Amino acid sequence: MTLRSTFAAAAALFAAASWLLPASRKTPADARAFLEKANAELLKLSVEGQRASWVRSTHITYDTELLAAQADERFIQATVRLAKQAVEFDGLTLPPDQARQLKLLKLSLTMAAPANPAESEELTRIASGLEGAYGRGKYCPPGGGDCMDIEEIGRVLAADRDPKRLARVWTGWHAVGAPMRADYQRFVELSNKGARELGFSDTGAMWRSKYDMAPDEFARELDRLWEQVRPLYVSLHAYVRKRLVEKYGADVVPAKGPIPAELLGNLWAQEWGNIYPLVAPADADPGYDLTRILKARNATPQDMVRFGERFFTSLGFAPLPATFWERSMFAKPRDREVVCHASAWDIDAADDLRVKMCIDSTAEYFATIHHELGHNFYQRAYNKLPFQFRDSANDGFHEAVGDTIALSVTPEYLVKIGLLNSAPDASKDIGLLLDRALEKVAFLPFGLVIDQWRWKVFAGEVKPAGYNRAWWDLKLKYQGVAPPSPRGESDFDPGAKYHVASNTPYARYFLAEIQQFQFHRALARLAGCKGPLHRCSVYGNPEAGARLRKMLEMGQSRPWPDAMEALTGERRMDATAMLDYFAPLKKWLDEQNAGSPVGW
């Protein structure tokens, strides 16, 4: 059994009975009893799954992977069955909290299989095959040579500076999508049929219905946020293009057009931090080196995590439980294979919190620890709510909260905790802001492209004959990037991105980038910060902590605008906070771009 077969088996259950159930004579009392039973069952299965997944991730063997897959299968099967039963209560007048739980249960899945058993089986087989094809993907150079998996290819794109090799490797990886094209077309047809049986116009509309607003209103909201931040992105794009022209020449990088995607340090041009050495300003030294400071102090992994914990206790949060320190994985074991990718765990949906990391004493890990603990403290804050509400207000909030805390890792904070003697003048911050913008600002248009393309495909606005053209039209429109050579409809470049092959919604990542700055600005104002926003830290401010905790404790129990208002006093997402944060950089970028082409 594999994880792919787990999801296939679970989704096949959709075919067991039609979602078009006849009107029932259910009562509000029946709904309450159903939710009590459903929450108890899902909580039990979730805990079993989390324990199995933890063992799989911290001790990788055939058996631990099998046990985790079996636990996943049981949880998904129960979710599918209960979501189907929840439809029976449609039309009842229920208390708001119960109505919301039923809604969340019905919207908890990303793929609705048709009621027809043969079509359901076909859809799950295709979905499994698409993800499997991506996972097996490699680039094998023509004429011989070792094949390269995506990790190796990523390292080449990050560090190599030979444009011809970058183009070969980029093209080689993107060939992984071509065999998926016909299957993806059929996947769209079948998943749309299942979504329509649930009452949605298409799968994209089903995804957009999860944001406490009408699907079309949510799409307009993303457009509005993008228009707020687009000028900042355009300035960054123009500056980076100018520096790449200096590096590679105008015959490789057009001075007035889109940037070749393979030159931006990432397979999908979604984050540009790997090319920071090529575009950094001459006086980029921030005046201190946190990695060097941590290593000079021989900071252990536990020391690093203690710094993060003390950040939260300074805000008035209770310390982490003793079991956190006993059960977390802070360093890579010498005796077994593990997943080192940093993650925060809520094993029992109560107080068994953990992190899983292979920590090194670096500035990057120092910030990552603060981020991951943001997840842990969020998880504990909502652990008294019904199971359906034990999640963030919308799927962007969890990542946004973790990143909000990481934004408070400033020189002033480092002074307060004794890692710096004094904070350098803010005039030295352009390099730091540029580095952060290459990660966060550069990501914004890509965060839109993935789902913009899929929404158009699901809605029939983009036909199969134009899949790849529409993909590159959107990447040009939003990102201002172009492929290293012409791409045709025999290619299927969307399939070269995991989230497309695995049918994973992507708008959450765009939301998280916007929300974190809005959260940070609100907390900084509450803490009385008078300096530039990028230098504000809420460390040691219990008033900011109380406001943050109020929002965290709401979990998913209320529509996300209520949670937003609890923290920020605002009911709309607002990207001007990101503009405030990067204001010094924007001014500097415009000065650097003076007299040079801007836009594409």
Mean pLDDT computed over every residue of the chain: 91
Three-state DSSP state, 479: helix
Q: Is residue 566 within 8 Å of residue 548, measured between CB atoms? A: no
Local confidence band at 156 (pLDDT 50, 70, 90 cut-offs): very high
Looking at the chain, the whole-number percentage of residues with pLDDT higher than 70 is: 96
The set of residues, in sequence order, having a beta carbon less than 8 Å from that of 469 and lying 6+ positions away, is 489
Average pLDDT over residues 427-432: 88
Local confidence band at 3 (pLDDT 50, 70, 90 cut-offs): very low
With a cut of 90, say whether residue 243 has pLDDT above it: yes
With a cut of 70, say whether residue 8 has pLDDT above it: no
Total domains, the chain = 2
Local confidence band at 24 (pLDDT 50, 70, 90 cut-offs): low
Residue 237, pLDDT score:
98
- Residue-wise DSSP of 287-330: S--HHHHHHHTT--HHHHHHHHHHHHHHTTPPPPPHHHHHH-B-
Local confidence band at 66 (pLDDT 50, 70, 90 cut-offs): confident
Whether 265 is in a domain gets the answer: no
Taking the C-alpha atoms of residue 486 and residue 489, their distance in angstroms, rounded to an integer, is 10
Bigger pLDDT: 461 or 112? 461
With a cut of 90, say whether residue 28 has pLDDT above it: yes
Token pair of 590 as six digits = 């415009």
Local confidence band at 22 (pLDDT 50, 70, 90 cut-offs): very low
Local confidence band at 599 (pLDDT 50, 70, 90 cut-offs): very high
Average pLDDT over residues 164-172: 96
Average pLDDT over residues 289-318: 96
With a cut of 60, say whether residue 1 has pLDDT above it: no
Question: Which of 77, 94, 109 lies at the terminal end of a domain, its last residue?
Answer: 109
Burial 168-194 (b: 16+ CB within 10 A, else e): bbbbbbbbbbeebbebbbebbebbbbb
Bigger pLDDT: 321 or 428? 321
Average pLDDT over residues 494-516: 94
Looking at the chain, the whole-number percentage of residues with pLDDT higher than 90 is: 76
Whether 196 is in a domain gets the answer: no
Residue 33, pLDDT score:
97
Whether 261 is in a domain gets the answer: no
Bigger pLDDT: 341 or 6? 341
Average pLDDT over residues 67-77: 83
| Residue 275 DSSP one-character state | G
Taking the C-alpha atoms of residue 581 and residue 232, their distance in angstroms, rounded to an integer, is 11
CB-CB neighbours of 125 under 10 Å: 16
For 526-539, what is the HEC assignment?
Answer: HCCCCCCHHHCCCC
Q: At what angle do helices 507-526 and 215-248 cross, to 10 degrees?
A: 90
Whether 180 is in a domain gets the answer: no
With a cut of 70, say whether residue 2 has pLDDT above it: no
Whether 131 is in a domain gets the answer: no
Q: Is 249 left (phi over 0), alpha (psi -120 to 50) or beta?
A: left
Residue 262, pLDDT score:
97
Whether 270 is in a domain gets the answer: no
Whether 19 is in a domain gets the answer: yes
Which segment of 79-83, 89-93, 399-403, 476-480 scores lowest on mean pLDDT? 79-83
For 352-408, what is the HEC assignment?
Answer: CEEEECCCCCCHHHHHHHHHHHHHHHHHHHCCCCCHHHCCCCCCCHHHHHHHHHHHC
Three-state DSSP state, 130: helix
With a cut of 60, say whether residue 5 has pLDDT above it: no
Which segment of 124-133, 465-474, 507-516 scores lowest on mean pLDDT? 124-133
Question: Which of 55, 76, 109 lies at the terminal end of a domain, its last residue?
Answer: 109
C-alpha distances (whole Å) from 504 to each of 12, 138, 189, 509 are 18, 21, 17, 11
With a cut of 90, say whether residue 199 has pLDDT above it: no
Question: Which of 90, 109, 128 lies at the terminal end of a domain, its last residue?
Answer: 109
Local confidence band at 133 (pLDDT 50, 70, 90 cut-offs): confident
Place of tokens 């979501």: 83
Average pLDDT over residues 446-461: 97
Q: Is residue 259 within 8 Å of residue 482, measured between CB atoms? A: yes
E strand residue ranges, 5-82: none
Bigger pLDDT: 121 or 327? 327
Bigger pLDDT: 400 or 341? 400
Whether 140 is in a domain gets the answer: no
Domain extent at residue 61: 3-109
C-alpha distances (whole Å) from 86 to each of 60, 314, 384, 522, 577 are 37, 43, 23, 38, 39
